[in-house]
């Protein structure tokens, strides 16, 4: 008789992970629920919901009659995610901690804990995403040590697992999974892969998980395009006023708001790291809205422009650092010709933009977009798709010239002739 497979499910205290655990239990697996504590509520002044979330996850596990564990990654989160976030802000970038949290914490430390410490056959999460393998194939994935050399043996036979969008395209979370390691993906199940959010809520109600259904969803990720940048959810940190929060960790570095059009000083700010490209700049005494279009971390100047769709906000080219391919290797077409057409996004749920990717010798990529995009931002991740497949992502390190710069260049050339 076959042994019942042991699956460790990451429990957040929310509706998605609760229904993921319910589905695994119904499929006959031996399920263990684990809650990850990644942020120490004693570290900051904001209201932290960690204890309540842990209690909610515990109640779900009790009702499912499955074991419950709690594991702390506070130290790892601080060193591998939050310290990085602060350094990126100081460099004038806008990081994405949710992507880094999945890469370093959930699909690294937690994955190892599930497989190595708890002896699970697989781990599971409540993400809306799919992979190229069936559940049964997950259990056939033995742990293999990563290659010790820079390049793998070219004769090694590999069948990498691919990452695909979930069935609910409005909730698809592959954007946040675009940096996860192949080894973890091979041993991960996504029970919500084929379900819509509405159906998941219905299942939670029928299972009596009313305490998790009542909860307000944290809007994780950075709102780069909206004007409401000031209150946001950071992975495992929750909703809080961003400027106040970041100024608890970084000393204020006051500077000027400067008009990109004529160099006029418009007002002052508390530090370039409290602002991101595309957001509305709160400038005292200004009746009209001004928007952040660029930053100079040497002088501390933050450049602003009138109107939300000013040409200084639009660009069509980005360069990334070394690109992370979910399958570990670049797509064959790109490896062969150094160029490939696919689709791009740098914000979760933004419409996909057709693009041409050029692979550089150092593993970084240039991405040329089919049309200029608003507020492309260094520090954010360029995530690439080919059809339903999420190919991976790379942190944006360089931007091409803005439409405003190109316009000025064209005008100068006209004057010269």
Residue 235 designated active-site: yes
- Residue that the structure tokens 């069936």 belong to: 134
Residue 32 sits at the vertex; the CA angle it makes with 208 and 111, to the nearest 5 degrees, is 125
Q: Is 201 exposed, middle or buried (0-12, 13-18, 19+ CB in 10 A)?
A: middle
179 Cβ neighbours under 8 A, 6+ residues apart = 99, 100, 102, 103, 324, 381, 392, 393
9 is catalytic: no
Count of CA atoms in the C-beta half-sphere (13 A) of 48: 16
How far is 13 from 70, CA to CA, in rounded Å? 12
Catalytic residue among 101, 342, 355, 390: 101
CA distance 171 to 198: 10
Q: For residues 187 and 157, what is the distance between their CA atoms, to the nearest angstrom?
A: 18
| CA distance from start to end of the chain | 85
CA-angle at 106, arms to 185 and 34, nearest 5°: 110
Element containing residue 407 per DSSP (H, E) = helix 403-416
Catalytic option among 48, 54, 61, 235: 235
Decide: helix, strand or coil at residue 32: strand
Among all residues, which ones are annotated catalytic? 101, 235
């Amino acid at each position: 008789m076959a042994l019942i497979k042991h699956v460790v499910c990451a429990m957040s205290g929310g509706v998605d992970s609760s229904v993921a655990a319910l589905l695994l239990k119904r499929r006959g697996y031996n399920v263990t629920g684990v809650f990850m504590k990644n942020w120490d509520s004693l570290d900051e002044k904001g209201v932290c919901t960690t204890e309540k979330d842990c209690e909610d996850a515990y109640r779900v596990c009790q009702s499912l009659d499955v074991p419950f564990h709690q594991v702390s990654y506070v130290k790892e989160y601080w060193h591998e995610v939050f310290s990085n976030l602060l350094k990126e802000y100081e460099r004038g970038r806008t990081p994405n901690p949710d992507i880094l949290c999945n890469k370093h914490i959930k699909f690294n430390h937690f994955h190892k804990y599930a497989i190595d410490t708890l002896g699970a056959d697989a781990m599971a999460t409540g993400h809306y995403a799919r992979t190229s393998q069936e559940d049964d194939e997950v259990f056939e994935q033995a742990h293999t040590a990563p290659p010790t050399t820079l390049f793998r043996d070219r004769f090694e036979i590999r069948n990498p697992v691919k990452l695909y969008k979930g069935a609910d395209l409005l909730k698809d979370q592959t954007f946040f999974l675009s940096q996860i390691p192949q080894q973890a993906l091979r041993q991960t199940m996504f029970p919500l892969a084929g379900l819509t959010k509405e159906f998941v809520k219905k299942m939670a109600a029928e299972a009596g998980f009313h305490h998790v259904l009542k909860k307000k969803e944290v809007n994780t990720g950075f709102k780069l395009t909206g004007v409401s940048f000031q209150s946001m959810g950071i992975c495992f940190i929750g909703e809080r006023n961003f400027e106040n929060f970041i100024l608890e960790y970084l000393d204020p570095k006051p500077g000027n708001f400067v008009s990109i059009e004529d160099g006029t000083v418009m007002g002052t700010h508390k530090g370039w790291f409290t602002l991101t490209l595309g957001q509305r700049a709160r400038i005292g005494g200004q009746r009209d809205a001004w928007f952040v279009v660029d930053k100079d971390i040497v002088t501390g100047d933050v450049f602003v422009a009138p109107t939300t769709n000013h040409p200084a906000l639009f660009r069509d080219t980005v360069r990334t650092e070394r690109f992370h391919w979910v399958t570990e290797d670049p797509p064959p077409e790109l490896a062969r010709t150094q160029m490939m057409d696919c689709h791009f996004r740098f914000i979760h749920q933004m419409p996909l933009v057709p693009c041409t990717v050029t692979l550089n010798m150092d593993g970084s990529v240039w991405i040329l977009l089919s049309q200029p995009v608003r507020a492309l931002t260094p520090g954010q991740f360029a995530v690439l798709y080919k059809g339903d497949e999420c190919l991976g992502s790379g942190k944006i390190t360089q931007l091409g010239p803005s439409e405003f710069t190109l316009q000025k260049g064209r005008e100068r050339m006209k004057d010269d002739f």
